[in-house]
Amino acid sequence: MREGMQIESAEISVDDKVRLLDALSQTGLKTILVGSFVSPKYTPQMAAIEELIKRFTPVEGVKYVALALNRQGVERAAEYMPPLSPVERHPMLFTHLCDTFTRRNTNTSQADEIARWPKIVESTQRRGATEAALAINAAFGSNFEGQFSLEQRMDMFERQHRAWSDAGIAVTGALLGDPMSWCMPHTMEEQLTAIRETWPEITHFYLHLHDARGLALPTTYAALRVLKEGDDLYLDTTAGGIGGCPYCGNGRATGMVATEDLVNLLEEMGIPTGVDLDKLIDAVWLLEDILGRPAPGHVAKAGAMPRGNKLYDANLPFVETFEQARHFKLGPSAAAGGLYPWREPIPTPVVHPAAE
């Protein structure tokens, strides 16, 4: 609702946003980012966030959070707690490797971000926090400055780690953000391995990966393969895979890991999510109706791998369109009218045990 909607039309009504948020609330997702408290001058898509929060129907067991980037935003968000909850994650010295992106995004510089570190550390000490995280954005590369190396990332992490350690605060988390879609599976493996070997006490990992080049989900899979039992992995996704940053140069083409695609991947890997994929697909279809176009994600178009009584009918007609492909959920009528080029009915195939 934030990362996705911030790049879509500001004309999308609050009514539609309420419908979408209420639909997502029924899927079993445990945390939903409902929007951001930012200036409507630069992000008009978030101008009515207060109205959205007043009108949607919170579901017990779902944590609703919102993004606030400055003191004014924090104060605005505080007026809506509950139904909002504070964003709970480690204190971070959030720093961009790409100075150009920082200037385009927040009218500041990397040097300005680093200059704020002492105040962040001091504030963390005053609150009595005992753990913190390393955090870099534009971690893997920049559409304006090119690719960043492992050495550059580790150097920034080392500086952040030193700032926390000197203050007596343990570093147990690490965040990697990729707004400009430079992530690669082998690069993620290399980076997470380096973090684990250098600081084995880091067990909490946050990934914010965009998908302009189709590599966010494979990179997520690589992260899942590297991390070990006892590690926590927090992943940002968007329904339908929509999303993007107007400062990156890719607009809506930026995209993100589609929530439904990730849920399908995790479930197929034997990692239970507690998410009702069928309801999530309903929410994505609603999103597509609101947008007036297909979303980039895949599973809402083709469904999960069919198993058991969901295997396709051997005599299903030719399926050519997205609408006809919805037979996986809507039933045979969705594909009615398709061609039947075979001369006689195809016998029901033998179902292999692995497909059950």
Kindly tell me if the per-residue pLDDT of 28 is higher than 90: yes
What confidence score (pLDDT) does residue 306 get?
A: 92
Cβ count near 97 (within 10 Å) = 22
pLDDT beyond 90 at 356: no
- Residue 212 binned pLDDT confidence (cut-offs 50, 70, 90): very high
Statement: residue 355 has pLDDT above 60:
no
How confident is the prediction for the chain on average, in pLDDT? Answer: 92
**How far apart (Å, rounded) are the C-alpha atoms in residues 180 and 189?**
19
Distance CA 9, CA 26 (A): 25
Question: Can you give the pLDDT at residue 41?
Answer: 80
Residue 39: what pLDDT? 79
For residue 83, say if its preceding peptide bond is cis, omega within 30 degrees of 0.
Answer: yes
CB-based contact 48:16 (threshold 8 Å): no
Q: Which residue has the higher pLDDT, 29 or 106?
A: 29
Inform me whether the pLDDT recorded for 146 exceeds 80: yes
Type of residue found at 203: T
Residues 61, 66, 68, CA angle at the centre, nearest 5°?
A: 150
Q: Which pLDDT band holds residue 353 (cuts at 50, 70, 90)?
A: low
Least confident of 19-28, 178-187, 209-218, 305-314: 305-314
The percentage of the chain sitting over the pLDDT mark of 90, rounded to a whole number, equals 70
Position 19 pLDDT exceeds 90: yes
What is the per-residue pLDDT across 75-84, written as a single tens digit (0 to 9) for each?
A: 788 888 889 8
Domains, the chain, in order of start with CATH, read 1-87 (no CATH), 89-257 (3.20.20.70), 308-355 (no CATH)
What percentage of the chain reaches a pLDDT higher than 70?
A: 99
What's the whole-number mean pLDDT along residues 165-169?
95
Question: For residue 205, is it left (φ>0), alpha (ψ between -120 and 50) or beta?
Answer: beta
Q: Identify the pLDDT of residue 315.
A: 87
Instruction: Tell me the average pLDDT across 139-163.
Output: 96
Report whether pLDDT(130) > 60: yes
Task: Give the pTM.
Answer: 0.91
- pLDDT at residue number 251: 87
Cβ partners under 8 Å of residue 245, min gap 6: 6, 7, 105, 179, 180, 210, 254
Tokens of 7: 């790049």
Average pLDDT, stretch 208-233? 95
Give the pLDDT confidence of 285-313 residue by residue, as tens digits. Answer: 999 999 999 999 999 999 999 988 899 98
Provide CB contacts within 8 A for 60, sequence distance 6+: none
Listed range (25-29, 82-86, 144-148, 166-170) with the worst mean pLDDT = 82-86
Q: pLDDT at residue 172 above 60?
A: yes
What pLDDT sits at residue 343? 86
